[in-house]
Structure 1
Amino acid sequence: MTSLALTHARFQLLETIRIPIAVFGSAFFPSAAMLAFVVPFVGDNAEYATYATVSMITFSVMTTNLFQHGVGVSEDRAQPWDPYVRTLPAGAMPRFAGRILSGLCLMAVSLVPVVLIAAFLTEATVTAAGFALAAVTTFLIAIPFILMGLAIGYSMPQKAAIVVAQVLFFPLAFLGGLMTGPGMAPGIVEDLAPYLPTGGAARLMWAAVGDFSYDFRSIAALVAWTFVLGGLAVWAYRRDEGRRFS
């Protein structure tokens, strides 16, 4: 299964790299937000710049996985190659694993400009241990957004998936508190954010790089979202398989 998963991941990566604008697009929004809001307004404050950077990393994780998996899966389902691959005896797991691996690789690429902007254009600072913890946390918080993207991709046609991904990413970012630092969002956002996947993810990232305390409410909510979205992704896959192959 491992070799099959790696083969699927390689195929997905090659398919995406052949259209460079797809790679550029996933990195554009968080990088543009860094240059437009973080660098000029809080770039000279080490604490605020550090928190803002990991907020933009969380934003990039969300958008990359929503569009890579949500829109990407729906596009693949519309191609004649997809029904053929799904008839092969390997099963669904290698394809799922390969898609997740390729998504994580593209996500890592999209984060590079954000990290470079923070390093060279702001006073953001982090210890080596904090950087390592933030890297691990980044991959952990990607899980619910990967599952969210898969649920969208397998349950909706291409045109609907694009609209849903576009409609979701900004409200999730704003209500999750990604546009402000810890404790700086409007009251309703501060109350709601810990229970959203974006708010829980941001709080884990803030705790990884600074003195922000771990919020166990948001951790529990993030775990719950992971299970719910995982269930939706499996349901959407089986529903699509039943409709098209039964």
Structure 2
Amino acid sequence: MADPNPRPVRVVIVDDHAMFRSGVRAELASVGAGVIEVLAEAADVDEAIAAVIAHQPDVVLLDVHLPGGGGVEVMRKLSLSPASASGSPKFLALSVSDAAEDVIGTIRGGARGYVTKTITGPELVSAIGRVAGGDAVFSPRLAGFVLDAFAGSIDVAAVDEDLDRLTEREREVMRLIARGYAYKEVAKELFISIKTVETHMSSVLRKLQLSSRHELTRWANDRRLL
């Protein structure tokens, strides 16, 4: 017989933007009241590992790009930690990035699902519950990336080699610019100054040996990064 009063799914939120973490916590408290319990928040790799070990959550909402190595590094270090062996959580990536290499790399790193930050509150509550129950959950477009990668139709190694030249922040700027965002919009999205966006963009073009944002868009589109 099903438990008439099941325990809420216990969650740790990992994201380097405090405002975003607060927004997710508030949304889960509102939409997921009685179903989701947020135990803690973390802003970087070390904080995430400490929070997971201390609180033993059922699900970790994990951003892909974090100070200290990223979401994949969180999963890798936790898999090696004796302190986390007794209760390994499920990982659900919640990221602004919907690029193929981020989705594929995160799933290969151990995540059970990947959804983008355009997801609604009720959808996120549902995704957390499904991942906690053992399902794999993806935003519809992202599921295709995973299928293509494991079918061998995306050359992940070649994409990774190109992107290894860029820092994580440069990758974020690159994707947004390639999608047609203005510098002001990129600055607002990433919580950085317009001047910093310009600096990152110059570095991206130099490292990829491109001369304009139009070439960058073609480059990113050819590699299925948009």
Task: Tell me the TM-score range normalised by the shorter chain.
Answer: under 0.3
Which structure carries more relative contact order (alpha carbon 8 Å, separation 6+)? 1
TM-score of the aligned structures, taking structure 2 as reference length: 0.28
Higher share of residues assigned helix: 1
Q: Which structure has the highest strand share of the two?
A: 2
TM (norm. structure 1) is 0.26
